[in-house]
Amino acid sequence: MPADGHSSDQRQKDFAERFAACEAAVCGCRPIVERAYRELVGRGRPDRHALEAATVVLRWHHPELAMPEAEQIVERWVAGNILH
């Protein structure tokens, strides 16, 4: 068992639960995060900058999310808009 008392399975489960809550937009933050991203890209900001800013917005609504988790969620939400 790791020093923090949580197994990696438990951590994965916790993350999945938080992620599911955001995906379902229970708190209504998703359209806000997407709007911030969309408006920044529309004003000519590079994808990476817009993603970082949208992640800050998400983390204000969900301070419990760690940075990598928040980034993953935002990338997933705006994935259709990213230029590959």
Comparing CB distances to another protein, the nearer of 43 and 79 is: 43
Picking from 71, 81, 80, the residue whose alpha carbon sits closest to that of residue 22 is: 71
Start-to-end Cα distance in the chain:
40
Where helices occur in the chain by DSSP H, the ranges are 8-23, 29-42, 47-61, 67-78
Total binding residues for another protein by CB under 8 A? 23
Comparing CB distances to another protein, the nearer of 13 and 49 is: 49
We find the least distance from the C-beta atom of residue 71 to another protein, in angstroms, to be 16
Picking from 58, 52, 47, the residue whose alpha carbon sits closest to that of residue 21 is: 58
Interacting residues with another protein between 25 and 84 (CB under 8 A): 31-36, 38-46, 49, 53, 56-57, 60-61, 81, 83
Using CB under 8 A, list all residues that contact another protein.
Answer: 31-36, 38-46, 49, 53, 56-57, 60-61, 81, 83
